[in-house]
Chains A and B, each alone.
Chain A
Amino acid sequence: MALTLAEKIMSQRAGRPVRSGEFVVLPVDLVMMHDGTGPLTIRQLAAMGFEGPRDPQKVVLCIDHGFPSPRKELSNDHLLLREFAQRTGVRFHEGGSGVCHQIIAEDYACPGQVIVGADSHTCMAGALGAFATGMGSTDVAAAMALGEIWFRVPESVRVEVSGSFPAWVYPKDLILYLAGQLGADGATYQALEFDGPAIRAMDMSGRLTLCNMAVEVGAKAGLVASDAVTRSYLESRGRGDRWCPVEPDDGATYAARITVDAGKLTPMVAGPHRVDRVVPVTELKGTRVHQVFIGSCTNGRVEDLAVAASILRGRRVAPGVRLLVMPASRRVYLESMKSGVLADLVAAGATVSPPGCGPCAGIHLGILGDGEVCLATTNRNFQGRMGNPQAQVFLASPATAAASAVAGVIADPREVMA
């Protein structure tokens, strides 16, 4: 029986072969929550009659959405989380450590695991060959209490990417292109499985960007096979011994197959207020921007900040534009500091904020004014997403963001760097 990646991981954890469409209860290897969803998760766990998680070592709790706290209500939520962490011994990451998904990638996720998190972008860990998906607080509380949760084994869409990316075109442009093609519900209840020569050649940072945005087309997971790139990433993070190969079988059944030639991609931009309203940057060139945000779990990694710095080095952020940079984790922050990337960005006029989720989710830092436009490297541009329903958010790669910060209008990085 030939299995997709999703079927393969789920079969392994189920201890029997399972096929798409089946409902299964699977043991979970890792459960994640943060300060946005954690307080409700903890209350639901108590309401179910449990004092703590079945296995605190499998629970990761991060403060990232409202840190440093802008309001006493959020500070009080943080108190509740710290008390819970202290009492139960779950793996706690204090504010400033980074965005939960980046922490999961850096410190926890391993190939073949089943991971659930109380955040929709939990699917990012699929880049490491884990079946990772977002759920709500009550499902996550159940997974914490019982050590297992139910799933419907998804059908998979195979995205086969050939060729190599042209200069100034990135995995972010690929996933925006796919969002435009598939639509915001184009893969609902399904798994997106990325493969092909361009994916095998892609670094972990790019794979994480792809899998992060699988949920933006409705998918429950984004998956990449566990290969040599996965192995060297895990080795670099001290988890080399946890590597194992996870590959889809030849002849597996897919709900659909999509082929993309990376060589034909161009920088893409999603316009307000839809992630699937995607056009080549050339069609939006000249649109005035007031704020540019480079960061988030989607595109706040060392590689992303380095690309931005390569454009901003020796240039200045245009007058009338605020450039906000937010490393995805403390590790990214430190590494980018040591390499000089942050110095280049600050010298060009950027404001660097502590690692977290605030601007992307409209909670704090970088809230837009009425009628303002932000170009962001984040994953969502729904109305009100960055804190103001009267503002507009465009989504693009760090290169397009940096080029636009220099130009003061949406700009094509290929032209700015020509």
Chain B
Amino acid sequence: MFAYYLQLGLRSLRRNPMLTALMVMAIGFGVSASMITYSVFRAVSGNPIPEKSSQLFVPQIDSWGPGLNEKGEPPGALNYVDAMALMRAHQSSRMTLIYQIVLSTLPRDADSVPVSSTGYAVTADFFTMFDVPFAYGAGWSNADDDARAGDVVLSQEFNQRLFGGANSVGQKITLSGHDYRIVGVTKHWNPAPRFYDAWGGSGFGNPPDFYLALNRALDLKIDNAGRNSCRGAITYNGWDQYLQSNCIWLMPWVELDTSSDVERYHRFLESYSADQQHAGRFGWAPNVRLPDVMKWLDVEKIVPPESRISLIVALSFFVICLVNTIGLLLAKFMRRAGEIGVRRALGATRHEIYAQYLVEAAAVGLAGGFIGLLLTAVGMSGVGVLFAPDIARLAHLDFSLIGLTLALAIFATVAAAFYPAWRAAQVQPAWQLKSN
């Protein structure tokens, strides 16, 4: 029966080529606009570390107090004093501190000029907490951190540029005039959004070049090249005073495995803040937060508003296209009221009429889906016009998107056809083709 309905549907679609083309184009445009914007939205709003996102948390401590904090919320990073206190407390199974640095690399031939390289100063747990994949070697140990060792892990891309992709573990590398020991080389790893630097960066960008042992970086007074935020009158003068200031710039992450661990850590943050209050360092009651990865990305508004607005506009556009399709399908089906009457008289049940028209709509949807797929593919190349290059390159047409495009087109068109098909099925049986 399905084949018969399909045959009837296709014949009917051929009979009004303009009307059919109009519907197919409307569905195609609507579906492709939605898919293009969705592909970007999917890329920017996705979970960058799905297997662990609910075990990784940002400990937030209000070190600024009422009137200076973020409208009552604690700031998004830690100052040096609080960061080091949390590190020393060892209240979580793992913890890391992160700040962004920019260093120079001097290629080994003498005439060349130095090249800027960007990376993060991190502590040992960074690699295990975030499941960083390694091509060669591994991260350094907590003991290395305690020994303030000059260890560095290179990214695959940086290792490719400097060592042609060879195993460089054990070699020395000079960055901004200081020597470091390479202990590991990662495989390609660039979570999008870059959740661990969501406070400091845009969340999207090229993978970093290296990860450097944080204690050594601090010893060498390597300045923070990322975000820095201070409150009140700035009176520090020099690096050591800067470390004692209220400026926040160190990004903390902790790993907590169970909900009781989370509760316990939250209590710890409160008691730490209370201690600071008693010691007179904080003049306010404890104000702490402990968001996990997805909550943190939400707090940091990592999804660009452009992406959200364009998705909403595109979806509304699709809805209008569907309203358009409902109207046109209604016109198309009801024009054949006479034919329906005769079919009913010849024994077709309501149900069969219904099915026949839904199949016809599905055919329209499928055609619309293919047009939509074509337009989506074209539109993907134009995404760069809409979004910053960092974000635009995240959008791509993969199998799941192709499947989704076709499924959405067919599903939406069939849904749009319900009312017109229902109207068609209401036509009374009649012996003659009577026009009204």
A and B: interacting chains: no
Q: Which residues of B contact A (CB under 8 A)?
A: none
